[in-house]
Amino acid sequence: MSQLTLYGNPALHDFLHTAAATKKVPQALLIEGAKGLGKKTFAGEIARVLFCQGDGLPSCGCSACVKLARNSHPDLFYIAEEKDGDAGVLVPRPISAESVMKQLSVSTIRKISAHAPILPNEAPSKLYAVDCTFGISKEAQNAFLKILEEPPAFVQFILLSNSRSDLLDTILSRVQVLPVLPLNRADFFLAAQARELNEGAAEGLFLLSEGNFGEALSLSEPMDDPMVVLSLDFFQGFVSGKAWEILLLMEQFSDFAGKDRQKLYNLFAFLRKMCYLSFAAATLDTRQFPPFCGAALEALAAWGPSKIGALLAVIETAMEQIDANVTFPACLTAFSAGLHTIFAYDA
């Protein structure tokens, strides 16, 4: 097979080569990895090698590959719970489909169970890619167990999750876990070259994203990204040390995240990453980073290592509270209180 669109991860490439040669994979897979690492890309490659009527090459022109490329294959179902509705009547949907999602519900899983026994339209099998990255309730997982235990012979399941720890042990015992890992420097630069990123920018993005190429792409031109804008306001705002500014920032944090705990967690994770980078700022060429990074690191430099270390502790405590399902208002209140212990604010 020629070069796949998924970079690095040699174990996953080996899996795809075997799948292409045998046209077989385990009936239930779990693709695990952080946002941006390529879970959907890998799931799409599995669909391609399973449905391909030829030799599994990415350049194949068979009708199945053409339909997958056009996002119109009738036996591929991407299952995600949308905030403004649910999965409804299941219809074919590409894995690349974008939506504003929420936790998968038991009703959606029951719809999958009811739909699964229907024979495929044209492929030897049907594939359900079930996106659990925004969570899946315990009740939904228990309902899913019934179809995972005795799936129809022509059904394949691919679960997508940020971490296997989000799933019940009974689910994990019935799937083969395939982790998608961050890229090493060499593979990251291959991916950057394919996207025509210059070498200097690629170096900075590699450090900033820690090898997560999807995240690197989102940061390459991020000045309109609300999370980046808010992060920059955060770092620059505290230089002034005004009490009213922290109140405004907490209001902005709440407006940004709404009720989305994962969105707030991602914001804190981004703030933490910039703090860690600031410790090494003296040894880095900040011209390699996107413009907002230089501004954020400049603001952090005004605080010094002790305050940055204290800020890191407050951020990490907030992330632990989100993991522990502390309520949204309580988490932001505790974060605000932690910041007040670091800085002397003017009235």
Sheet of strand 176-179: strand arrangement: 76-79, 126-131, 155-161, 28-32, 176-179
- DSSP class of residue 242? B
Could you give the C-alpha distances from 297 to 127, 207, 242, in angstroms and in order? 46, 14, 20
The pLDDT, as a whole number, for residue 73 is: 92
Structure tokens at 313: 């502790």
Nearest C-alpha neighbor of 269 from the set 326, 320, 214:
320
- DSSP class of residue 126? E
85, 65 in Cβ contact below 8 A? no
- Range 45-68 burial, b when 16+ CB lie within 10 A, else e: bbbbbbbbeeebeeebeeebbebb
Q: Where are the beta strands (DSSP E) in the chain?
A: 28-32, 76-79, 81-82, 101-102, 126-131, 155-161, 176-179
The pLDDT, as a whole number, for residue 325 is: 75
140, 109 in Cβ contact below 8 A? yes
The pLDDT, as a whole number, for residue 278 is: 78
Tell me the three state secondary structure of residue 79. strand
Give bridge partners of residue 101 from the DSSP assignment. Answer: 82
Q: To the nearest 5 percent, what fractions of the chain are helix, strand and coil?
A: 55, 10, 35
Q: What is d(CA 48, CA 68) in angstroms, rounded to the nearest whole number?
A: 7
Residues listed for the chain: 347
The pLDDT, as a whole number, for residue 2 is: 36
Specify the residue for token string 């693709």: 31
pLDDT digits (tens, 9 = 90+) for 143-189: 999 999 999 999 999 999 999 998 999 999 999 999 999 999 999 99
The pLDDT, as a whole number, for residue 161 is: 93
The pLDDT, as a whole number, for residue 326 is: 83
Nearest C-alpha neighbor of 304 from the set 269, 283, 284, 278:
278
The model carries a pTM of: 0.74
pLDDT digits (tens, 9 = 90+) for 307-332: 888 888 998 998 888 877 788 788 88
Query: Which positions of the chain have pLDDT values less than 70?
Result: 1-5, 59, 82-101, 220-225, 236-247, 259, 280-292, 343-347
Tell me the three state secondary structure of residue 340. helix
Distance of CA 162 to the CA centre of its chain: 6
52, 60 in Cβ contact below 8 A? yes
The pLDDT, as a whole number, for residue 290 is: 67
Cβ neighbours of residue 298 closer than 8 Å, sequence gap 6 or more: none
